[in-house]
C-alpha cells in the first residue's frame, strides 16, 4: 500500500492509537479443565492460547507433544496416532466434555533420557493455526519459525520459572496462535505467563512482553500487522516488571544505536502497562476461586 502513513502529523497511528498506546487486552485463566494450567489472551486482534502441563515425569519426546483439535481431522494426525498406539507407548487423548470445552490433543510420555538431575526441564512448543493469517497456510510442526519461537519461549521461561524446586521433572508449555495481527511473540509470552500461574508453578515474577518499533523519529509500542509489514525496525522485549530485569530482547532489523535507548524504553513502559492488566486479571481469578472455596 503506497503512501501509507504509519504516523500522522498529529501523532496518530493507522488504527488511531497514540505512539505509546497499547491495544485492548483481554485475558482469561483456566479455560481448559483437563490441563494443569491454561490461559487465553487477546491483544487487539492477536489471539493466543497457552496450555501448561506439569511439573511431571520427564519424557524423552519434545516438539510433537500436542495435536490441537482442529488438526485432528487430517489423515496425517490419525496415522500418527495409530503409530503411537501400535508402538505401545502410552498416549492419552482428551475429549470434549458435555460443557463443550475444546478437546485437547495427545500428551506423550516416553523415556526419561532428558531429565536434568538438579532442575526441571522446560519444554515449549509454539504453533500457529492455519487460519491465523490473512491467507490460509498449512504449517508443518517442525518448521523453522515454530522451532525458533519455541526456543525463544523456552529461554524466556527458563529465566523466570524457579526450576531448582522441581528436579528431574518436566514442564511443558504449548502455545497456539489463533489469529496473528502483529505482536505474536508478546501475546504468546503473556498467555504462557498466565497459564504457568494457573498451574501453580512457582515463578520469580510475571513475564510481560511487548513489541516496539521506530518510525519518523518516534518509538511506537505494540505493533500491529500493518506496522510490522511496513518494514521498519521491530523489537520484542520480555520483562520481569518488579525487578526490571530483561528476560529476552530480540530484534532482527537495522536500527541506529542512538535510537535504541528510546525504543527500549518505549517497549519497557508498554510491558509494564501489560503487567498492570495481567496483574488485575490474576488477582480477580484468585479472589474468585478463594471465595468459592470458602474460608
Partner 1 sequence: MAMEMRLPVARKPLSERLGRDTKKHLVVPGDTITTDTGFMRGHGTYMGEEKLIASVAGSVERVNKLICVKALKTRYIGEVGDIVVGRITEVQQKRWKVETNSRLDSVLLLSSMNLPGGELRRRSAEDELAMRGFLQEGDLISAEVQAVFSDGAVSLHTRSLKYGKVSPSLVKRQKTHFHDLPCGASVILGNNGFIWIYPTPEHKEEEAGGFIANLEPVSLADREVISRLRNCIISLVTQRMMLYDTSILYCYEASLPHQIKDILKPEIMEEIVMETRQRLLEQEG
Judged by the rule CB under 8 A, the positions of this chain that interact with partner 1 are 33, 36-37, 54-57, 90, 97-100, 109, 162, 166-169, 197-206, 240-243, 279, 282-283, 285-295
Could you tell me the end-to-end alpha-carbon distance of the chain, in angstroms, rounded to an integer? 59
Q: Which CB atom, from 217 or from 294, has the smaller least distance to partner 1? A: 294
Q: Which is nearer to partner 1, 110 or 232 (CB)?
A: 110
Least distance to partner 1, CB of residue 86, Å: 15
Phi (first) and psi of residue 43, to 5 degrees:
-115, 100
Cβ atoms of residues 221 and 21 within 8 Å? yes
If the CB atoms of residues 262 and 272 are measured against partner 1, the closer one turns out to be: 272
3-state secondary structure of 269: helix
- Nearest approach in angstroms of CB 286 to partner 1 is 5
For residues 105 and 66, is the Cβ–Cβ distance under 8 A?
Answer: yes
- Nearest distance from C-beta of residue 116 to partner 1, angstroms: 12
Q: Which is nearer to partner 1, 160 or 175 (CB)?
A: 160
Nearer to partner 1, 2 or 291 (CB): 291
CB 181, CB 224: distance < 8 Å: yes
Q: Residue 245's beta-bridge partner residues?
A: 240
Q: How far is the CB of 163 from partner 1 (least distance, A)?
A: 12
User: Among candidates 6, 35, 42, 103, which has minimal Cα distance to 281?
Assistant: 42
Residue with cell 490441563: 35
CB of 295 to partner 1, least distance (A): 6
Amino acid at each position: 500500500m503506497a503512501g501509507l502513513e504509519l504516523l500522522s502529523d498529529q501523532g496518530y497511528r493507522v488504527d488511531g492509537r497514540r505512539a505509546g498506546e497499547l491495544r485492548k487486552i483481554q485475558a482469561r485463566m483456566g479455560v481448559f479443565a483437563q490441563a494443569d494450567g491454561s490461559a487465553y489472551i487477546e491483544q487487539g486482534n492477536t489471539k493466543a492460547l497457552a496450555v501448561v502441563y506439569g511439573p511431571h515425569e520427564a519424557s524423552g519426546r519434545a516438539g510433537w507433544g500436542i495435536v490441537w483439535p482442529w488438526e485432528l481431522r487430517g489423515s496425517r494426525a490419525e496415522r500418527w496416532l495409530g503409530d503411537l498406539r501400535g508402538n505401545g507407548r502410552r498416549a492419552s487423548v482428551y475429549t470434549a466434555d458435555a460443557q463443550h470445552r475444546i478437546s485437547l490433543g495427545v500428551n506423550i510420555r516416553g523415556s526419561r533420557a532428558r531429565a536434568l538431575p538438579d532442575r526441571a526441564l522446560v519444554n515449549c512448543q509454539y504453533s500457529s493455526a492455519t487460519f491465523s493469517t490473512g491467507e490460509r497456510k498449512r504449517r508443518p510442526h517442525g518448521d523453522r519459525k515454530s522451532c525458533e519461537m519455541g526456543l525463544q519461549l523456552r529461554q524466556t521461561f527458563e529465566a523466570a520459572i524457579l526450576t531448582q524446586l522441581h528436579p528431574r521433572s518436566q514442564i511443558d508449555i504449548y502455545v497456539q496462535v489463533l489469529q496473528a495481527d502483529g505482536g505474536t511473540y508478546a501475546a504468546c509470552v503473556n498467555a504462557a505467563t498466565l497459564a504457568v500461574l494457573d498451574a501453580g508453578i512457582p515463578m520469580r515474577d510475571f513475564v510481560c512482553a511487548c513489541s516496539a518499533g521506530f518510525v519518523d523519529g518516534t518509538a511506537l509500542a505494540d505493533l500491529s500487522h500493518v506496522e510490522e509489514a511496513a518494514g521498519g525496525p521491530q523489537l520484542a522485549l520480555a520483562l520481569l516488571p518488579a525487578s526490571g530485569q530483561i528476560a529476552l530482547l530480540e530484534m532482527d532489523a537495522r536500527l541506529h544505536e542512538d535510537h535504541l535507548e528510546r525504543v527500549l524504553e518505549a517497549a519497557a513502559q508498554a510491558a509494564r502497562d501489560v503487567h498492570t492488566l495481567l496483574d488485575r486479571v490474576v488477582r480477580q481469578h484468585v479472589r474468585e476461586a478463594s471465595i468459592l472455596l470458602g474460608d
